[in-house]
């Protein structure tokens, strides 16, 4: 039996706030002292929220990013994306958008056209992943990953994981990453137990979006928007679902470099942040 990872605490999300007029979000980290999860910078949980039909798409107008990646996982609803690199597409339930801003991207995120017209339940996650200094000014990259291309791994009766990035039980996810990162979308039926292994040395975290799970026999996450960082030592993680649960499991090799951040820019120095702002104002990141 491999050594279990230890749960370092269970934390709730920050109070809800709205990003634009279409994304009511709760920030799971950084929040309540949960800050050092390199290479992961931020995790926002949008929804679940109900939107009525509308003639005008809700969302966020064009805005810039530099120095990191955004990962959007869709559970309910849809988002239309356009960016200054000429990329566009709709992120629908089960799909993932992995956007590497790197040297600079300007993009727009709005509710999908069909979702806007019909209304309904909206639920998504957006994760920010840092880039090493060597790649912060590399060429931007866009990965639109369809649900059908995300493999599943059985974790036990009534429990499975969709491998979005990294590797689980020899199954590799479709996302291309710059450093070792695992992103697993885990679904558990009530009464099921899911077992998985995460690398020693990785920063790891269990994120309960909704439901109730016991982690490694002694720490309970219940309700919505709960987060449990894990020890870097050990490998084994056991999730026991007391009710139907939706869980995000993250692990990544730490990037041991300085972090300087301001709004939509994440660099290594204050001077680089100032340069990012100047480049954006000068139109060097383009426009949608």
Per residue of the chain (288 residues), what is the pLDDT tens digit? 589 999 999 999 999 999 999 999 999 999 988 889 999 999 999 989 999 999 999 999 999 999 999 999 999 999 999 999 999 999 999 999 999 999 999 999 999 999 999 999 999 999 999 999 999 999 999 999 999 999 999 999 999 999 999 999 999 999 999 999 999 999 999 999 999 999 999 999 999 999 999 999 999 999 999 999 999 999 999 999 999 999 999 999 999 999 999 999 999 999 999 999 999 999 999 999
In terms of Cα–Cα distance, which of 186, 163, 160 is closest to 174? 163
How many angstroms separate the Cα of 28 from the Cα of each of 13, 206, 214? Answer: 4, 11, 18
Contacts of 60 (CB under 8 A, 6+ apart): 19, 20, 22, 23, 108, 109, 110
pLDDT at 32: 84
- Write out the two tokens for 166: 């990294």
> What structural domains and CATH numbers belong to the chain?
11-281 (2.60.120.10)
Question: Cis peptide before 114, with omega less than 30 degrees from 0?
Answer: no
Structure letter (DSSP) for residue 5:
P
Other CB atoms within 10 A of residue 194 CB: 27
Contacts of 46 (CB under 8 A, 6+ apart): 19, 23, 24, 25, 122, 123, 124, 125, 126
**Can you tell me the distance from the alpha carbon of 211 to that of 213, in angstroms, rounded to the nearest whole number?**
7
Residue 277, classed as helix, strand or coil, is helix
- Write out the two tokens for 254: 């730490």
pLDDT at 1: 55
In terms of Cα–Cα distance, which of 204, 105, 275 is closest to 196? 204
pLDDT at 2: 86
CB 60 within 8 A of CB 22: yes
């Amino acid at each position: 039996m491999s050594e279990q990872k230890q749960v370092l605490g269970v934390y709730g999300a920050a109070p809800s706030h709205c990003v634009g007029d279409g994304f009511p979000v709760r920030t799971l980290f950084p929040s309540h002292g949960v800050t050092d999860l390199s290479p992961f910078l931020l995790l926002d949980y949008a929804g679940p929220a109900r939107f009525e039909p509308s003639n005008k798409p809700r969302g966020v107008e064009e805005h810039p990013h530099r120095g990191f990646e955004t990962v959007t996982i869709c559970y309910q609803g849809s988002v239309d994306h356009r960016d200054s690199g000429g990329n566009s597409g709709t992120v629908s339930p089960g799909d993932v958008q992995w956007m590497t801003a790197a040297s600079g991207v300007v993009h727009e995120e709005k509710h999908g056209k069909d979702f806007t017209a019909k209304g309904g339940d909206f639920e998504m996650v957006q994760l920010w992943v840092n880039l090493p200094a060597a790649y912060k000014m590399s060429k931007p990259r866009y990965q639109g990953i369809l649900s059908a291309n995300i493999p599943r791994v059985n974790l036990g009766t009534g429990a499975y994981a969709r491998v979005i990035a990294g590797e689980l039980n020899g199954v590799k996810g479709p996302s291309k990453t710059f450093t070792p990162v695992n992103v697993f979308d885990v679904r558990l039926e009530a009464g099921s137990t899911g077992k998985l292994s995460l690398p020693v040395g990785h920063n790891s975290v269990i994120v309960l979006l909704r439901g109730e799970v016991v982690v490694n026999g002694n720490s309970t996450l219940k309700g919505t928007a709960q987060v449990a960082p894990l020890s870097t030592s050990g490998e084994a993680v056991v999730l026991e679902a007391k009710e139907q649960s939706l869980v995000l499991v993250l692990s990544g090799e730490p990037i041991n470099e300085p972090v300087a951040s301001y709004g939509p820019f994440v660099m290594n120095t204050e001077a680089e942040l100032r340069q990012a702002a100047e480049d954006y104002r000068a139109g060097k990141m383009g426009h949608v």
